[in-house]
Amino acid sequence: MTLLLKLMLAPLLVVGSSLAGRRWGDRVTGVLVAFPIVAGPILLITCLEQGVEFGARAAAASLLGLVSLAVFAVVFAHAGRRWHWWAALVAAWLATGLADVVLAGQSLAAGWALLLVLAAIVAGRRLIAAVDGEPPAGKAVRPPWWDLPGRAVATAALVLFVTGIAATAGPVVTGILAPFPIATSVVAGFVHSQQGAAAAVRTMAGVLQGLAGFAVFGFLTSVLLVPAGAGAAFAVAILGVLVSQAAVMLARRRRRAEVTAAPQKPDA
């Protein structure tokens, strides 16, 4: 049963979010791929194999991994404006790996880790906004036939790797590795190579927006797994993701409406 979850659940979620993102745009792609569509199944499988106490510690550590994911988004957005997609990916992976090494030595309570993630999201969105000024392209690019199978295979490989080393790596390393940007890397590389740097920047901006829901998921699972059990904890956490993302989207829509309604200053 757990092997079937490893091979099917996360890859199907990645494919579904990719298809939805193609319909509604680059930023939506980033928001959806930043959902816990990989880390969620990893944490669930970890709970089933290692127990809820192990899973709770891994979930708390996954919050620190989100800081590294924010680092990836910022570095790829800026590097992608100057370099080819593969060079930008290498730079972003190196930055993410360095952040993971630093964070693996830290031990923070879930509440403090959540505050650190939210601060990283705010800082990351400001840094990406500095290069997010180009309007969307009018013509959609048809992806190659192997695009979705490639994303599914990469996702399955990540889940197998992280859950396979969980018993020896421990809950902290497992949790930090759970949000490692494999699915995000695949999306970022494909978007950059097929649609250009501006589309990749918009996708990374969406990733930062989606991380808020991911942070809520990690926090709720970390505090609810032991007292409530895996089923109830994951159900509440998923509901928390949906509610938090709806709140973020409403706030963003309201700000956009206020900017549009604001009177324009006449030219001198």
Give the SS3 label for residue 252: helix
Residue 106 tokens, joined: 């830290």
Range among 128-137, 200-209, 248-257 rated most confident: 200-209
Question: For residue 74, is pLDDT > 90?
Answer: yes
Domain ranges of the chain: 2-255
pLDDT tens digits for 215-248?
888 888 888 888 888 788 888 888 888 887 777 7
| pLDDT given at position 76 | 94
Residue 2 tokens, joined: 């757990």
Give the SS3 label for residue 179: coil
Question: For residue 122, is pLDDT > 80?
Answer: yes
Cβ density class 58-81: b for 16+ within 10 Å, e for less:
bbbbbbbbbbbbbbbbbbbbbbbe
How far apart (Å, rounded) are the C-alpha atoms in residues 119 and 115? 6
Q: What integer best gives the mean pLDDT of the chain?
A: 76
Question: For residue 268, is pLDDT > 50?
Answer: no
pLDDT band at 2 (very low <50, low <70, confident <90, very high): low
Candidates 234, 242, 193; CA nearest to 45 is 234
Residue 190 tokens, joined: 């494909």
H helices of 25-140, in order, are 26-33, 39-50, 52-80, 85-104, 110-129
The pLDDT of 139-143, averaged and rounded, is 62
pLDDT band at 29 (very low <50, low <70, confident <90, very high): low
Residue 53 tokens, joined: 């106490």
Longest dimension (CA), the chain: 69
Listed range (24-33, 124-133, 155-164) with the worst mean pLDDT: 24-33
How far apart (Å, rounded) are the C-alpha atoms in residues 40 and 29? 18
How far apart (Å, rounded) are the C-alpha atoms in residues 112 and 34? 21
How far apart (Å, rounded) are the C-alpha atoms in residues 88 and 110? 32
77 against 177, higher pLDDT: 77
pLDDT band at 50 (very low <50, low <70, confident <90, very high): confident
| DSSP classification of residue 267 | P
pLDDT band at 133 (very low <50, low <70, confident <90, very high): low
The pLDDT of 164-193, averaged and rounded, is 69
Cβ contact 185:33 at 8 Å = no
Would the pTM of this model clear 0.85, i.e. be above it?
no
| pLDDT given at position 184 | 78
